[in-house]
Chain A
């Protein structure tokens, strides 16, 4: 299967990042990796869209950043969810799930094998 491009759907990227950060504090590289792993390489994030998204979220106050040391012993910028981010994730997740359920129902009607 070909990799999907999450940035095609506005808001999806933000939601993915927020969800990934819900598990703990991560730096940009790890975020991309983790999304790739969890999605079984279907969703790959390019740095060209990842970092602007991170900065946008930081700007909106949904995530917070802190310099720390990576596992390899190098200094890296770690992101974590803020309280507002957690709330946003909650809301977005709800609406995404209901949206995708609705989409599935509608699309499923026509392409029933």
Chain B
């Protein structure tokens, strides 16, 4: 048996239960060893191009296949899993440790899935594991947020399942020998062919992936769910779901123009809410949306440099966001609050955490010498190149110019809200009271390692570029990444964004309040409907309706007054009948609107 004979996810999934059983040093060792073994297998898979095929009900499944972008994502997933598990061992609950390993395993499974069904299965493993991690936050708010996360993502998973079935059906009807193969679905949507089985299925899969990427209007789940997990739980959550969605978008939907605009909307939405936030974890959660927006723009452009940029930025983001969530966890643990308005002056007591947080914040802001600078710049450059190419071809490039300007503004906004606001209000602002000095432990060591990685990839990005899908473009970009022009432009942009922070600080100082987001529709709206519509209706119409029900019962079973045969039948059959009617309506809709494929 060789490492290519089973998916890397299986190793993680099989080793996860041991994390719940071991104690002390054995636990710490296994927490580090498990992701490292997975990393070794990933390396083997990347260097031995040997897909694994399985026959399943006359369909060919490919649970192991290395895609061009698998390397960067999988290596980053393994490293962050090692960092997170090392941190969580001995601190987090057994359920959280076990779920975190399954979560990482699911993400690795998606990275190496060669067919739609394997991708879906590993996707659902991730969803279940993430739900348990949120529940492990241990608060009632965490349990409620976990349930909302589960419901929303189960709906997304259902959309993806229906989409996969429709795509496979359409492919079988055209005689495709490998109907479940994971390959680009862009042609099914662009140019829009009208509503066919394949386009409907592809649109459903795209919708499910955008939901998981945190795209508006449903992206509010990121800020709703992630902050409610434990400190280490949030670290895991920040790394896997949204980045796996980016990976799937990259493999399936590269070059879909609408994604460029969706990505721009994500960057601005994330930055705007991050500026408004007073909760350190919610601020970081919104900044995930903003950073994933940059990646989605890269995927939407679909040029080799843009895809390299999306991949590289996803890998860099995994590290610096894990670092920032870890620093936030340390700070929250010591101060006992998540509110920026109740923090300040912590650098005296926590110099190590302050330095690591600063490195993470500067990486996210794409400050020179940090990992964000060497990765996010690729996406900006790809937009500029696309505008130049359109200009040279005589096509109107105004749209691309608008995209470029909005991305620059979003980049400056990221520096405003995360690069300066976060470290300033937490570590350098007015002190709000003494906290005990930090004692470097496993969390401190992991924070230093992640900060070193962020700086290392900023100063020497070659190891990351070597894992990118389009090597030629990556190496070409490496020659200009530290050109005087690029450095001076970025410094100019960020420095004056920073100036705005200090000038406008009273405007940016937050009060103890929360911001309404789209999650209002699933957190407050149903309650409002019940309070303001359903309850008054029941109070008004309840007695006459009860009278009518009793009258019906008497008619159906006149002798005894108890529910008669028909009433019993109706009670049992009503639910399934409703489901059948819904399915029939869905089928008829598809049949009527997709006559060619049907």
Do these two chains really belong together in a complex? no
Q: Which A residues are within 8 Å of any B CB, using their own CB?
A: none
